[in-house]
């Protein structure tokens, strides 16, 4: 019999007060498990720069503002902001300006994000522009943190020139109510993710994603300066099957799902406890994304495509099954561990991820061959 469960199930409508990548600098932290995201972001830099090239330049007397939405707590956001600002400086130089404008960079994420770790990584402001361009030891921009959900307003009207958001928009503002309601036809019984679930369950997730994306676009259309643009990247899929979540399905719907089932079989938790936990992620199809952008009507689509990102795992020794299993468990834990801890408590969370690691180790070669992520890439400019 499962033990009495005295920990509280997190209300999904209050998800934004809890959701974050795992903070700190430990083995399972996001800082130490975001190398794949860094590789994927670097592979998209040519597309990012294409978007930067269509941003309208104002006079250098007008400060230029950049915002990274869903910045998390690692060095990836600092690298990207640096790329963006250095590219814009070169654009101003190409037009013959002696001095570029002052730059501001806003790092935004939910209030539960580990901003302390992020800001400890910030290089100091200062040095000449030439020194900032030639070195990473100084930054050429003023920095600020902006806590809050990007599905609502975050900035004053017409205040930001360029928005960037990568690997964040697939996170929903909430798990749809119907998915955790055992009276609903969309109840996701027996699963902690929608990969392979019923079509009605997947449709509830799709509708939540599109509602959230509509809120995101509506907010940015008010905050963006005239002539501004944004570059967005989120998990995506190539299949039109709403229940097929591609790489996200393999990450959360295989060993992770089986580990939850292990806890139920071993009597450590009840099946009801498992069924009340759902990963609030939806990997959209290109059509899912395009429908919302076109319905909003505030943005011109410069580019909208599916981009192959590669594996979410970075391992030094691919033939070492134990290293692959550990990498998969740490990857899962770095992005979902905070939610699991809140739902199960620290002790059972540890039990869960040890089972994820053990299962992944047993078929490590198969994981490396098949676990691949695709991303939706969107380059959008504010319609005049």
Partner residues linked to 171 by β-bridges: 281
Partner residues linked to 105 by β-bridges: 66, 143
- pLDDT greater at residue 350 or residue 75: 350
- pLDDT greater at residue 2 or residue 16: 16
pLDDT of 6: 42
Placement of tokens 């950049």 in the chain: 66
Average the pLDDT over 169-191 and give the result.
Answer: 92
Instruction: With H, G, I as helix, E, B as strand and everything else as coil, classify residue 382.
Output: strand
**Confidence label for 111 from pLDDT (cuts 50, 70 and 90):** confident
pTM (predicted TM-score): 0.87
Instruction: With H, G, I as helix, E, B as strand and everything else as coil, classify residue 147.
Output: strand
**Confidence label for 37 from pLDDT (cuts 50, 70 and 90):** low
Q: Which helix (H) or strand (E) holds 134?
A: helix 129-134
Which two three-digit tokens encode residue 326? 């550990």
134 Cβ contact partners less than 8 Å away, ≥ 6 residues apart: none
Distance from C-alpha of 384 to C-alpha of 372, rounded to nearest angstrom:
38
pLDDT of 30: 52
Percent of the chain whose predicted confidence (pLDDT) is above 90: 53
pLDDT of 13: 47
So what's the architecture of 32-240+276-310+371-380 in CATH? Answer: 3-Layer(aba) Sandwich (3.40)
pLDDT of 43: 81
Average the pLDDT over 37-51 and give the result.
Answer: 84
C-beta separation of 249 from 297 below 8 A: no
Instruction: With H, G, I as helix, E, B as strand and everything else as coil, classify residue 275.
Output: helix
Instruction: With H, G, I as helix, E, B as strand and everything else as coil, classify residue 46.
Output: helix
Which two three-digit tokens encode residue 211? 């509602």
Provide the residue ranges of all domains of the chain, joining segments of one domain with +.
32-240+276-310+371-380
Average the pLDDT over 56-80 and give the result.
Answer: 91
Distance from C-alpha of 95 to C-alpha of 269, rounded to nearest angstrom:
64
pLDDT of 328: 87
CB neighbours of residue 95 within 10 Å: 9
Distance from C-alpha of 140 to C-alpha of 86, rounded to nearest angstrom:
9
Where helices occur in 169-245 by DSSP H, the ranges are 199-223
Rg for the chain, CA atoms, rounded: 21
Residue range 216-248, pLDDT digits in tens: 999 999 999 999 999 999 999 988 888 888 888
Query: Strands 64-69 and 141-147: what pairing?
Result: unpaired
Where helices occur in 224-269 by DSSP H, the ranges are 246-253, 255-265
Compute the C-alpha angle 374/379/381, nearest 5°.
Answer: 160
Average the pLDDT over 317-326 and give the result.
Answer: 88
- Going by C-alpha positions, the residue among 223, 109, 86, 75 that lies closest to residue 161 is 223
C-beta separation of 259 from 336 below 8 A: no
Placement of tokens 């640096």 in the chain: 82
């Amino acid at each position: 019999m499962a033990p009495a469960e005295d920990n509280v199930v997190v209300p999904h409508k209050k998800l934004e007060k809890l959701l974050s990548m795992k903070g700190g600098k430990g083995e399972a932290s996001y800082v130490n498990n975001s190398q794949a995201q860094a590789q994927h972001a670097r592979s998209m830099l040519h597309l990012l720069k294409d978007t930067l090239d269509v941003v309208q330049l104002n006079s250098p007397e007008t400060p230029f503002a950049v915002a990274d939405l869903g910045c998390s707590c690692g060095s990836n956001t600092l690298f990207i902001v640096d790329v963006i600002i250095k590219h814009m400086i070169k654009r101003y130089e190409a037009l013959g300006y002696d001095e570029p404008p002052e730059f501001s960079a806003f790092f935004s994420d939910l209030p539960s994000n580990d901003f302390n770790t992020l800001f400890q990584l910030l290089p100091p402001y200062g040095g000449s522009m030439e020194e900032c361009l030639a070195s990473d030891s100084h930054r050429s921009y003023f920095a600020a943190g902006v806590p809050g959900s990007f599905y609502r307003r975050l900035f004053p009207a017409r205040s930001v020139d360029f928005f960037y958001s990568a690997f964040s928009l697939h996170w929903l503002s909430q798990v749809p109510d119907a998915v955790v309601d055992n009276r609903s036809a969309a109840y996701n019984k027996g699963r902690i993710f929608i990969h392979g679930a019923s079509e009605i369950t997947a449709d509830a997730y799709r509708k939540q994603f599109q509602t959230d994306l509509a809120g995101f676009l509506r907010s940015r259309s008010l905050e963006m300066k005239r002539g501004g643009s944004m570059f967005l990247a989120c998990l995506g899929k190539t299949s039109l099957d709403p229940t097929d979540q591609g790489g996200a399905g393999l990450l959360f719907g295989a060993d992770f799902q089986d580990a939850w089932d292990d806890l139920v079989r071993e009597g450590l938790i009840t099946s009801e406890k498992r069924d009340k936990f759902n990963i609030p992620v939806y990997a959209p199809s290109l059509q899912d994304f395009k429908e919302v952008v076109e319905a909003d009507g505030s943005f011109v689509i410069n580019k909208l495509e599916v981009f192959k990102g590669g594996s979410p795992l970075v391992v030094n020794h691919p033939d070492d099954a134990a290293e692959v299993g550990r990498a998969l468990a740490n990857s899962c834990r770095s992005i979902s561990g905070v939610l699991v801890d809140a739902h199960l408590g620290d002790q059972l969370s540890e039990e869960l991820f040890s089972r994820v690691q053990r299962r992944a180790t047993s078929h490590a070669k198969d994981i490396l061959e098949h676990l691949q992520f695709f991303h939706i890439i969107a380059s959008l400019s504010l319609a005049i």
